[in-house]
Structure 1
Amino acid sequence: MTLTIYNTLTRRKEPFQPIEPGKVRMYCCGITVYDYCHLGHARTCVVWDVVRRYLQWRGYQVKYIQNFTDIDDKILNRAKKEGTSMEEVSERFIKAYFEDMDRLHIEKADAYPRATHTLDGIKRLVYELEQKGYAYAADGDVYYSVRRFADYGKLSGRKLEDLQAGASGRVELEDPETQKKKDPFDFALWKAAKAGEPSWESPWGEGRPGWHIECSAMVRERLGETIDIHVGGSDLIFPHHENEIAQSEAATGQPLARYWMHNGMVKVGGDKMSKSLGNFTTIRDLLDKVEPMVVRLFILQTHYRNPVDFTEKAIDAASNGWQTLQEGLLFGHHYGEKLAWDDLPGATVPELVQKYREIVDDDFNFAGGLAVLFELAKELRKEGNILVHQGKTDTSPEKLKAQWQTLVELSQVLGLEAIAAQPEQETTGLSDADIEALIEQRAQARKAKNFAEGDRIRDELKANGITLIDAGGGVTKWHR
């Protein structure tokens, strides 16, 4: 089975063939650090974290870069409002970003370049574009001449003649001096310094970079002129990624990326998430109420290219799903010793691993891959119930260990991990004789129809990690 990827650029699924066999260079457009991350960021970061994990599991050596935009009007506006500096705002929210990602179990990228740390590369790229006739200076600003790039619109499918003036989006808002442009579609590569704002020296005078140019410079500096996979949210296709292509490919004459991948947006109760609608949820607020693994599962249960709707019902379903997976993942911790697993070799179930791989190889279909995990988890949960109630099972320890190890390995590919209680948490402080004595007291209480006392003793044992099973004939079994 060959891994296939839906390529936004070609609008079809294509077999994945990296530039260098066995190695993948992957870039993710990161966040603008002016506020806490929200649920949309959580989806983007989880999806590309799992794509990277899956590629590594498939045997690829992945170099993964994700940037921070740390110079931007939104950052400057926040700093001005708070009476702080651009650097203080950026550092605070970069720190918050890592706190949120750690809670979500996101593996760190290989590097996190920042716009303010890439200024030499940015200025070099702007200079090259100017020398090649793709950029022009105007009173301290430098603009990209969109009509000079014949392939402009190839990623988004938009044609200049169909676009309205001012469709260059965020940059247009940042630059009110549109009269400086030769064409309304042109966008800023370098912006002249404004009073009270941070600025840097350049061949065009004091100023700072535009938004789009920073990613082109970071990709080139960290990964080279052509990379394997460029990823981000679907809201970045136009204008950001379209402009990245125009900048990079005009400068180098090479494709910027072989594969362009974009994740769908998050809706809340069917509506677009926004602060104005009052349905805006930060990652940290959400994780104070919902387990991180439940959030990961909620995100992965929908194919990455489709929109996902955040509702209470959907989170409840993900919570129930995680309970099932968690029981399966903890099976080995609960029953491995009883089944004498230490003496058995480790192995996985080849046909299930192959089935999982075939499903996920179809454009990273993690939602489909989860079906294999649930199948395994439900089987292990059933076996656990049999072991608790009957003390033994007809399924061989070898088969159970292989099923469990398969579930653990494939779940780790998705970043789904259950943490077993530490030994000191599992110890009850009660000896077997203490437990038997309490069970006898409970039996006498129940015989005297003092059911409240019987329930109290059961609850006391439960608080100490002891589960009682009332079997037939007045016999009560127990296990830790």
Structure 2
Amino acid sequence: MTNATPSALPETRMPEFRLYNTLTRSVEPFVPTDGRTVRMYTCGPTVYNPAHLGNFRTFLFEDLFRRAIALQGWTVQQVMNLTDVDDKIIKRALERGLTIQALTDPVVETFHADRKYLRIQDAESYPRATEYIPQMIALVERLIANGVAYQADDQSVYFAIDRFPGYGKLSRLDRREVKSGARVAQDEYSKENAQDFALWKAAKEEDERTGAAWDSPWGRGRPGWHLECSAMAMELLGETLDVHCGGVDLVFPHHEDEIAQSEGATGKEFSRFWCHGAFLLTEGQKMAKRLGNVSNVQGLRDEGVTGAAYRHVVFSTHYRKELNLSADALEASLTAVRRVGEFAARLASATGGTPELAQAAAEAEREFRAALADDLNAPEAMAALFVFIKRANAELDRHGDDAAALEAARRVFGIIDGVLDLVPERGDTDAELAAWVDERLAARKAARAARDFAGADAIRDELLARGIELKDTPQGTTWQRR
């Protein structure tokens, strides 16, 4: 009986893709409506400040999602909005004597640079709210015509939540306990209900001064925050989306209000699935060991934390669980992606494998696909990768000559890293390696100074295991790769 070759291994079956739906509070089978293209709307940043690492935790789970969609054989049509007009933007522009466009243009550029640093794939569209004012006005007109919106005495237009029976179905809040959301005008004397939210805000002097006012049937004004997303989503993706994503903090009021105004206008379900990522937490003073008070991507750059390493940090925790960002977690992730990079280099330079290598690859692919299909279980997907690396390294140590097995391992590793994207760039790898070696050499020097020669030898062995040779000279210790 001959050993199995990659061509004889069973084909990897596509597992059923399942996703947690905030609307139903359950994990459900997910397929695009037409069986081919996932129409996906993801709430993007409000561009008055660079997006912080918590924002990017959400954007990274969405990046994982779109890559998992491709792995299923579907295409994706992703829209991520850029909110470039709202109360915070107008206030900041006023303080700096700028128009909202002059304020937001550089922040949009920073967002895209940060996104690329973290290897977040391009969405198909990045609409800016100010580019869709006519669509927003048309949506408000439909809502007024349908009797679920009204113009109040202050000349602003509000959505009447009491006239929309489904209000609260996403957040499951008792309407009697609902408090008016952020960015919503609070003039209770001009609204039917204190909880009614603004669709179109009558222009104030600061709006006019910063270029944040437009003509409308209700006078000069600007869109409400919630209105922007509904208008852009339906204009670019249709009246019913396959999935709408964002951070858990957007469930109420933002996404609840999006549902109300979208379904209040069309009478159709706005999104079949709602998918939300949990918060990013930090350890406060403990972060000072490595990052101090860094909270954005530029801070990661300054401290030498690569995009690959931050991806590893984020994917180490399921997207629906809170993630604690600590110095220890960042250090562990820098080490982990270094290991991935070393394996990638070894796999690329290998000349043959073994039948067991092909078997390890097949099992890794099966487990990886199953993990992603199980509500985007990134920790389990990464576990499949690192088990594969361990098994594959052991097989490569045997110096087999099975070219087909090696090709199978390369194919599977390409599939996995095509989703997780953890292989550092060569420059990243070199910089990380040098920093790590320097740290270990300092520890070895300290051990020798303390006459802990066993500890110093252990560090030398640790370096050798990574392919680093040391040479002690009168001028100090030098190192090189084997």
Task: Tell me the amino acid that sits aligned with residue 38 of structure 1.
Answer: H
Gaps of 5+ in 1: 387-391, 423-452, 468-480
Contact 1:50–1:415 (Cα < 8 Å) also in 2: no
Q: Which amino acid aligns with 1:361?
A: A
Query: What amino acid is aligned across from residue 200 of structure 1 in structure 2?
Result: W
Matched to 2:200, the amino acid is: W
Tell me the amino acid that sits aligned with residue 302 of structure 2. Answer: D
User: Cα deviations across residues 42-79 of structure 1 (Å, max 9, x unaligned)?
Assistant: 10111101100110121001100000110011111111
1:234–1:262: 8 Å Cα contact kept in structure 2? yes
Deviation at 1:291, TM superposition (A): 1.3
Quick one: distance in 2 between partners of 1:122 and 1:190?
9
- TM-score, with normalisation over the residues of structure 1? 0.81
**How many aligned residue pairs are there?**
413
Asked whether 1:248 is paired with 2:254, we answer: no
Matched-pair contact (CA < 8 Å) for 1:35–1:93: yes
Contact 1:328 1:407 in 2 (8 A): no
1:272-421 matched pairs, under 5 angstroms = 279=293, 281-289=295-303, 290-333=305-348, 335-336=349-350, 339=351, 349-382=361-394, 386=397, 393-394=399-400, 396-420=402-426
With the length of structure 2 as denominator, give the TM-score of the two structures: 0.80
Distance 1:353 1:458 in 2: 50
Q: Distance in 1 between matches of 2:123 and 2:475?
A: 49
Residue 73 of structure 1 corresponds to which residue in structure 2?
Answer: 87
- C-alpha deviation, 1:394, in angstroms: 4.5
1:137 matched to 2:151 = yes
Residues 185, 354 of structure 1: CA spacing in aligned structure 2 closer, same or farther, 3 A cutoff?
A: same
1:11 aligned partner: 25
3-state DSSP of counterpart to 2:422:
coil
Q: Give the structure with higher Rg (CA).
A: 1
Q: Is the 8 A contact 1:332 1:401 kept in 2?
A: no
Instruction: Give the aligned residue type for 1:195.
Output: E
Return the offset for 1:376: 1.6
CA RMSD of aligned residues (A): 2.7
Match of 2:8 in 1: none
- 2:166 matched to which residue of 1? 151
In structure 2, distance between residues paired with 1:372 and 1:348: 10
Given candidates 93, 96, 117, the residue that maps to 2:110 is 96
From the superposition, tell whether residues 316 and 149 of structure 1 become closer, same or farther in structure 2 (CA, over 3 Å): same
AA aligned opposite 2:423: E
For the residue of structure 1 that corresponds to 2:44, the secondary structure is strand
Residue 282 of structure 1: CA displacement?
A: 1.1
Aligned to 1:194: 204
Matched to 2:204, the amino acid is K
CA distance in 1, matches of 2:360, 2:94: 57
How far 1:460 sits from its partner (Å)? 10
Q: 1:206 to 1:347 in 2, by over 3 A?
A: farther
Asked if the contact 2:87/2:183 (under 8 Å) is kept, the reply is no
> Is it true that 1:182 corresponds to 2:192 in the alignment?
yes
Report the counterpart of residue 240 of structure 2 in structure 1.
226
Q: 1:108 aligns with which of 122, 125, 135?
A: 122
Q: Report deviation, 1:162.
A: 2.6
Cα distance per residue 1:378-419 (max 9 Å; x no partner) = 2344456x4xxxxx6257444344223312321111232333
The equivalent of 2:460 in structure 1 is none
Residue 436 of structure 1 corresponds to: none
Q: Which runs of 4+ in 1 moved over 6 A?
A: 457-461
Larger displacement relative to structure 2 (295-304 or 359-368): 359-368
| Letter in structure 1 aligned against 2:373 | D
Q: Aligned in 2, Cα 1:21/1:347: closer, same or farther, shift over 3 Å?
A: farther
What do residues 273-299 of structure 1 show as CA deviations (whole Å, max 9, x unaligned)? 9xxxx9561121123221110100000
Instruction: Indicate if the aligned counterparts of 2:114 and 2:297 stay in contact, CA closer than 8 A.
Output: yes
Q: Measure the CA separation in 1 of the matches of 2:44 and 2:206.
A: 27
> What is the letter of the counterpart of residue 182 of structure 1?
E
Contact conserved, 1:149 with 1:246, CA < 8 A, in 2? yes
Residue 36 of structure 1 pairs with residue 46 of structure 2: no
Quote how far apart the aligned CAs of 1:90 are: 0.8
Could you tell me whether the CA contact under 8 Å between 2:364 and 2:385 is conserved in 1?
no
Letter in 2 for 1:78: R
Whole-Å Cα distance in 1 between the matches of residues 427 and 282 of structure 2?
34
What amino acid sits opposite 1:32 in the alignment? T
Q: Secondary structure at the match of 1:376?
A: helix
Q: Which amino acid is the alignment partner of residue 156 of structure 1? A: S
Secondary structure of 2:158's counterpart equals strand
